[in-house]
Structure 1
Amino acid sequence: MNALLFTDLSVFVLSLLLGFEVIGRVPTTLHTPLMSAANAVHGIVLAGALLIALTADGVLGYALVFVTAAFAAMNVVGGYVVTDRMLEMFRPRKDTR
């Protein structure tokens, strides 16, 4: 394993651990606004994953790019779903009679 791949893998693992620790400490009442506000950040992560895909070489590099892009895409979609559900609470209800 070369030094550059080891550095990239270390940054990837540390960012996963840091992200889990930060999100785990957010109070429950702030999760919905946090998800809706984080869509832009996850979009940047997705764009970064696609840029890293240009420099990936080897099976491990391609696997890491795929996993990163998949998680970023899930976060973007999940953020918009949460935002839509949150905005649905403020729309007037239709009369069901």
Structure 2
Amino acid sequence: MKKHEFKIGVNIFKEGKNHVVYSPALDLSSCGRTEVKAKRNFEKALKLFLEELEDMGTLEDVLLELGWRRADTPKYAWIPPHLLNAKVRVHLPKSV
């Protein structure tokens, strides 16, 4: 597998007894009983995800579809999409 280097943001939150690590830029997540295990599992999932895309020859297509773009400098071959965090007011029916 070719080496790809990039930085991605992740969201870490607790869901029940598990911690979840989610990357909106890759639409990829993993979980674990502790935050450390969740991060470790995410790294494994990310490695497998990238290896499979590389093996299938679809890495570039998938990253482009997810909004990534090629960098001009060799240090980071890919630039993730710019994601904004915002709070949105939502009105739900009372039955929810």
Taking structure 1 as the reference length, what is the TM-score of the superposition? Answer: 0.29
Q: 1 or 2 for the larger relative contact order (CA 8 Å, sep ≥6)?
A: 1
Taking structure 2 as the reference length, what is the TM-score of the superposition? Answer: 0.30
Q: Which has the higher strand share?
A: 2
Structure index of larger Rg: 1
Q: Which has the higher helix share?
A: 1
